[in-house]
Amino acid sequence: MPIGVNDLKVLIVEDEIKTLNGVEYLIHQISEEYIIVGKATNAKDAIEIAMTACPDVIITDIQMPGMTGLEMIQVLNQKQIRSKFIILSGYAEFDYARKAVELRSVDYLLKPITKSLLAKALDKVKHMIEEQKNENNITVLSNQELIKKVIALPPNESGHYQKELPKRYKEDEKFSFLLIRGDNKILKIDENRMMEIIKRTISMQYEFYCVTAEHRQMYVLYKGVDKESLYKQINQVIYFCREEIHAYLAFCVTDFCGITKLLQSKQQLIDYSNWNLSMKSPALIDEEKIRKFHCHTLVYPNEIEQRLLYKIEFRQFENLTELEDFVEYLYAKEYAYMDIREAMICLTISVLYVIRKTSYGLYENVSNLKVLEWINELLFAQHYISIMNNIIFQYKIYINNTSQNAHPLIRKVIKIVDQEYKTEFNLEELARRVNVTPEYLSSLFVKELGVKFTTYYTQKRIESAKDMLKSGNYKVYEVAHEHGYEDVKYFCKVFKKYVGISPREYQQMAGKVNGLSNRKKNIQD
């Protein structure tokens, strides 16, 4: 069997044939990555096999005729065989264990061994070998490659590379660290153009390393620079990048002493970049600029939200200026970026709730785009307006298509659903009634309305169920049966998915609203 790059070569040394075969069987059970390259019943034969096969790990007994396992390890160490050792023994004396540790054994297992214990020991060997390979590979990396590994890799994967950094740089060396970050992915072509601008603008007398990480972040690390001079040149870079490449790029810079602070400074830059959302006129952000920023308490603009929700709910899509008003409000004073993002998320949730009431399918489509996660990382308020306008536009298309769809087949299907939504039927049955295949009807429905047929059909039933619950004259199980749901628990599950609360909670809430309306009417009368 050919040995792969990730396979570990194993040599088993054991004078008891039964135990030897048992260990071999366990290894085959544990993983196909452990390849047995030899078996020996005595130390002398094992040494010969080890000299030619060069196993990664040798599993050996201690007490064997002629030469003990520990004596064999000493001989192999003298011959520069760099195998790892797992000791098997029926003897639990401390002296054996201590000696095994001195001879670089990885583990000491008492017989009879179990599959789980052997698996842990072999996994430990594999991990140690991988660490050594990484350390050997690191030494041949250039400084640029090493810096890239530390910055671009997650911290839990860059540990080996971080340890190499202090070996390359003096403890008191000074660095300036620049981050260029966008809301969207930095394309390769834009990355190259930014590098051209940096090279032609910033003095090349400085040693620097450039790294792109996570597609939206570009880092430039400068070694031993004049801070005042560098910052002036970076401001020129900002001007050219925004003029020639993209207006929506955030630029942040920090300085630190000692290369071991590289990752700490990287996190600091990411934190700095978030403040770009607070800046009405984005510029180069550093610690001093943030320190001078005077944060006010943000009072959420409920009036603007209510105007926007009213227009969406009653489909008044013309002259929809509330989003611009909302963003203008956020920049009327200086607010912390956390407060601005929280306000954006609150408004987004409110808009999505209005959409959910009309079309759960469209709401589900928007949710799948992870809009809230995107907003939670925004650096530019202008992008928030674009995102929300796109969501509202999709809602407008849905409303227009459902109310005045031009396709005769979809109009026919909608008419059937509007008349018979309380009856249980599926897409296949409906397709037969309109003389098309289910596949064609399904794709046409999505194309014309932007949602699946089953979602539209269920939404129609749930809206009708809401009206019955709101009246207060029906119990939940009666509403469920009236709309074709024989299983009340399933009805409750579907209702909560589409409405956000259970049927009983909705009925209670509607009852409170009705009671309040009646009291107001009585007062007026």
Q: Are 190 and 242 in contact (CB under 8 A)?
A: no
Residue 347 has pLDDT above 90, yes or no: yes
3-state DSSP assignment of residue 461: helix
pLDDT of amino acid 80: 86
Closest of 360, 347, 358 to residue 388, by C-alpha:
347
Tell me the torsion sign for CA atoms 114, 116, 119, 123. Answer: negative
For the segment 160-180, the average pLDDT, to the nearest whole number, is: 91
Please give the Cα distance from 268 to 20 (Å, whole number).
56
| The amino acid at 305 | E
Element (H, E) at 1: none
Q: Are 92 and 110 in contact (CB under 8 A)?
A: yes
Percentage, residues of the chain above pLDDT 70: 92
Highest mean pLDDT among 171-180, 308-317, 360-369: 171-180
82-119 pLDDT per residue, tens: 888 888 877 655 566 666 666 666 677 878 888 988 99
For the segment 445-464, the average pLDDT, to the nearest whole number, is: 83
pLDDT of amino acid 520: 43
In the numeric block, the tokens 């054996």 are attached to 96
Residue 454 has pLDDT above 70, yes or no: yes
32-82 pLDDT per residue, tens: 889 999 999 999 999 999 999 999 999 998 888 889 888 898 899 888 888
Element (H, E) at 223: strand 217-223
pLDDT of amino acid 523: 44
Please give the Cα distance from 217 to 23 (Å, whole number).
51
Please give the Cα distance from 187 to 215 (Å, whole number).
8
Q: Are 351 and 304 in contact (CB under 8 A)?
A: no
The angle subtended at Cα 471 by Cα 467 and Cα 475, nearest 5°, is 95
**What secondary structure letter does DSSP report for 67?**
S
Please give the Cα distance from 473 to 507 (Å, whole number).
10
258-267 pLDDT per residue, tens: 999 999 999 9
pLDDT of amino acid 40: 94
pLDDT of amino acid 193: 92
> How many Cβ atoms are within 10 Å of 521's Cβ, its own excluded?
9
pLDDT of amino acid 521: 47
Give me the DSSP letters along 436-457: S-HHHHHHHHHHHHSS-HHHHH
Cβ neighbours for 315, distance < 8 A, ≥ 6 positions apart:
396, 399
> How many Cβ atoms are within 10 Å of 284's Cβ, its own excluded?
17
Residue 522 has pLDDT above 60, yes or no: no
Q: Where are the alpha helices (DSSP H) in 93-180?
A: 94-102, 115-138, 143-152, 159-168
pLDDT of amino acid 405: 59
For the segment 218-243, the average pLDDT, to the nearest whole number, is: 90
| The amino acid at 242 | R
Q: Record the tokens describing residue 276, joined without a space.
A: 């770009």
489-518 pLDDT per residue, tens: 999 999 988 888 899 988 888 776 555 445
For the segment 394-409, the average pLDDT, to the nearest whole number, is: 76
Which is more confidently placed, 221 or 514? 221
Residue 368 has pLDDT above 80, yes or no: no
Instruction: Report helix angle 262-274 to 143-152, nearest 10.
Output: 50
Please give the Cα distance from 254 to 366 (Å, whole number).
37
Burial 392-404 (b: 16+ CB within 10 A, else e): bebbeebbebbee
Residue 255 has pLDDT above 60, yes or no: yes
Which is more confidently placed, 446 or 153? 153
What value does the mean pLDDT of the chain take? 86
Q: Are 175 and 255 in contact (CB under 8 A)?
A: yes
Cβ neighbours for 126, distance < 8 A, ≥ 6 positions apart:
8, 33
User: What Rg, from alpha-carbon coordinates, does the chain have?
Assistant: 35
For the segment 312-326, the average pLDDT, to the nearest whole number, is: 90
Return left, alpha or beta for 500; rule: phi > 0 is left, psi -120 to 50 is alpha, else beta: left
Cα 22 to Cα 27, 91, 112, 115, 450: the distances in Å are 9, 19, 10, 10, 62
The angle subtended at Cα 136 by Cα 133 and Cα 138, nearest 5°, is 105
pLDDT of amino acid 105: 66
pLDDT of amino acid 423: 81
3-state DSSP assignment of residue 364: helix
273-288 pLDDT per residue, tens: 999 999 887 789 999 9
**Partners of 249 in the beta sheet?**
182
pLDDT of amino acid 408: 85
Backbone phi, then psi, for 217, in 5-degree steps? -135, 135
